[in-house]
């Protein structure tokens, strides 16, 4: 097996292992499932060992396959690094940049920036994947991921975009009809809008019984409405359907317009969350990735809705 066939075979093997099937690997590589199977079989023949046990429904790595998978990934990463090293010598960033971002943040804040990015770097080809799940950047083949929440330490480079504050909000019309709660225990008398994550759990609200007291997680139950999308939460609250907890950056246009008011700012804890841009550690970051990272950070870090302070938000309370 010559060098070219080895590279094709390793790519087929790694993609099949990561995706769990030849068909999914084929879609990722842009070749046929039969070609993936032939490549893997050729690799096994060259190595003299079975790397995968196949059935009609699944693939299972053998012990030798598991050991070889890590070596194959290292080899592919070394190849990527060699290509990126050559690309670094080019004057202008060029090529495809794969970005993973959540639906709400991606549509509202990232997608509008792409025309400016391409205007600055015309040879770039952004590829934006909207996905609310936490993706594996390396296995998914992404160059960049933008994610919010409590960000754990990882092997990725993390660049902070902003702090993410949450607020309790309701429309003036709802408050006029149902009254404005003055204490957390009064919330049970109101219509509450809950957010349900993709895993089925409900997003808790963080509340203090009194200013300065410990923070307790509190579930908005019984809910009058349950949604799974951050924008739907804001829109439902603005339509007068009840009280909701929302990311301040999502609620900001409605707060600015007076269509929502902040509730219980001294009792509600805004959380310790952040929005970050992440990309894999590499000895050399490809120019196409560096240019995209620099531009997105430059634009996002100065967006008014992403620079909100707690003092600003408290000034918009009912």
pLDDT tens digit sequence for 246-282: 999 999 999 999 999 999 999 999 877 889 999 987 6
Q: Taking residues 294-301, what's their average pLDDT?
A: 96
Query: How much is the pTM?
Result: 0.67
Confidence (pLDDT) at 151: 67
pLDDT digits (tens, 9 = 90+) for 125-174: 999 999 888 788 888 889 999 988 776 656 788 899 998 899 999 999 99
Please determine, for residue 82, whether its predicted confidence score (pLDDT) is greater than 60. yes
pLDDT digits (tens, 9 = 90+) for 225-244: 999 888 899 999 999 999 99
Confidence (pLDDT) at 145: 94
Structure tokens at 63: 């012990």
Please state whether the peptide bond connecting residue 222 to the residue before it is cis, i.e. omega within 30 degrees of 0: yes
Q: Taking residues 68-80, what's their average pLDDT?
A: 84
Looking at 70-84, 109-123, 177-191, 289-303, which range is the least confident one? Answer: 70-84
- Largest separation between any pair of C-alpha atoms in the chain: 76
Please determine, for residue 83, whether its predicted confidence score (pLDDT) is greater than 80. no
**Can you give the C-alpha Rg of the chain in angstroms?**
24
Buried b / exposed e along 180-210 (16+ C-beta atoms within 10 A): bbeebeebeebbbbbbeeeeeeebebbbbee
Per the listing, tokens 């790519």 go with: 11
Please determine, for residue 95, whether its predicted confidence score (pLDDT) is greater than 80. yes
pLDDT digits (tens, 9 = 90+) for 211-223: 878 888 888 988 9
Please determine, for residue 85, whether its predicted confidence score (pLDDT) is greater than 80. no
Q: Taking residues 12-28, what's their average pLDDT?
A: 88
Please determine, for residue 15, whether its predicted confidence score (pLDDT) is greater than 70. yes
Confidence (pLDDT) at 280: 85
pLDDT band at 181 (very low <50, low <70, confident <90, very high): very high
**Bigger pLDDT: 98 or 91?**
98
Do 276 and 159 meet the contact criterion of CB atoms below 8 Å apart? yes
Dist CA 143 CA 86 (whole Å): 17
Dist CA 28 CA 16 (whole Å): 9
């Amino acid at each position: 097996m010559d060098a070219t066939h080895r590279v094709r075979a390793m790519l087929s093997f790694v993609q099949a292992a990561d995706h769990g099937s030849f068909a999914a690997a084929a879609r990722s590589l842009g070749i046929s499932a039969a070609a993936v199977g032939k490549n893997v079989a050729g690799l096994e023949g060259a190595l003299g060992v079975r790397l995968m046990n196949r059935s009609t429904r699944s693939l299972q790595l053998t012990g030798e396959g598991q050991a070889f998978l890590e070596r194959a990934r290292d080899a592919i990463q070394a190849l990527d690094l060699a290509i990126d090293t050559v690309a670094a010598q080019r004057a202008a960033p060029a090529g495809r940049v794969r970005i993973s971002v959540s639906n709400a943040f991606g549509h509202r804040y990232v997608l509008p920036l792409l025309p400016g990015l391409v205007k600055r770097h015309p040879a770039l080809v952004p590829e934006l994947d909207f996905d609310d799940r936490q993706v594996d950047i390396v296995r998914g083949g992404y160059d960049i991921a933008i994610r919010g929440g409590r960000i754990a330490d990882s092997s990725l480079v993390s660049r902070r975009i902003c702090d993410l504050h949450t607020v309790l909000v309701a429309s003036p019309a709802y408050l006029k009809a149902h009254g404005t709660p003055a204490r957390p225990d009064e919330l049970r008398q109101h219509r509450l809008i809950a957010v349900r994550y993709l895993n089925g759990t409900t997003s808790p609200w963080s509340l203090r019984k009194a200013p300065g007291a410990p923070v307790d997680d509190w579930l908005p139950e019984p809910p009058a409405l349950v949604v799974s999308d951050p924008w739907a939460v804001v829109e439902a609250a603005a339509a007068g359907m009840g009280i909701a907890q929302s990311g301040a950056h999502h609620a900001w246009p409605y707060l600015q317009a007076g269509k929502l008011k902040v509730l219980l700012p001294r009792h509600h804890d805004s959380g310790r969350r952040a929005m970050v841009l992440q990309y894999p550690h590499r000895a050399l970051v490809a120019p196409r990735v560096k240019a995209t990272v620099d531009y997105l950070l430059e634009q996002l870090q100065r967006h008014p809705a992403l620079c909100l302070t707690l003092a600003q938000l408290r000034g918009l309370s009912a």
